[in-house]
Amino acid sequence: MSTGNELARDAATVETHAVDQPDDSVSPATLALIDAYLGDHPGGAERLIPVLHRVQEELGYLPHPVIKAIAERLGISPIQAYGVVSFYHFFTTVPRGRYQLKVCMGTACFVRNANSVLESIRDTIGLEVGGVTKDRLFSLEQVRCLGACGLAPAMMVNSEVHGHLTRTAVRKLLQGLRAKARQKRAAGEADGE
């Protein structure tokens, strides 16, 4: 069983796309992803939103150089692409983790000690609200309400709600997600990725 310190230490060893790229460049892997998607989905500018979704799914966010590269490949201006990204709330130009932790701080969760969920996350992986782990595996947000008051205190991991959380439950959940990421990475390395 991994401790919180081991999890935090492991955060530095998980590789992600484009982490060490200069601010104005796009990794070859990301360009290949864009080209593969556009090659598999013929058409014109109507592919903008789907390709943005696909790239954000992989990277966790949409860096400005990536948006520009997508716009160029679709034959539209970067301003048009930025306009779409800034209009829709589900797109972000700020890095997020593969696992987006959203801790509910609504009244029901707050009175049932939602702060202990935040403290457990901080103690286990060293993550503060608004932050992203160095490996971009986890990001943390506070939200007003998840609509899961009967499960208080509650947290979402991506689109899955976890309720009746204790410090121990949070620690085990994070350890499980870290193990899942390691397994995926090992499977990818075994496949030659």
pLDDT at 10: 41
pLDDT at 192: 56
Instruction: For domain 95-190, give the CATH number.
Output: 3.40.30.10
More confidently predicted of 60 and 139:
139
Task: Dig out the tokens for 113 from the structure.
Answer: 């000690």
Q: What is the pLDDT of residues 4-33, one digit of tens each?
A: 444 444 433 333 333 444 456 899 999 999
Q: Comparing 28-87 with 95-190, is the CATH topology the same?
A: no
d(CA 131, CA 47): 31
Average pLDDT over residues 99-104: 95
d(CA 162, CA 153): 9
Instruction: For domain 28-87, give the CATH number.
Output: 1.10.10
Name beta bridge partners: 101.
140, 157
d(CA 77, CA 41): 20
Q: What is the pLDDT of residues 103-139, one digit of tens each?
A: 999 999 999 999 999 999 999 999 999 999 999 899 9
Q: Is the pLDDT of residue 95 over 90?
A: no
pLDDT at 96: 86
pLDDT at 60: 79
What integer best gives the mean pLDDT of the chain? 87
Domain parsing of the chain, residue ranges? 28-87, 95-190
Give the contacts of 64 (CB within 8 A, at least 6 positions apart). Answer: 82, 93
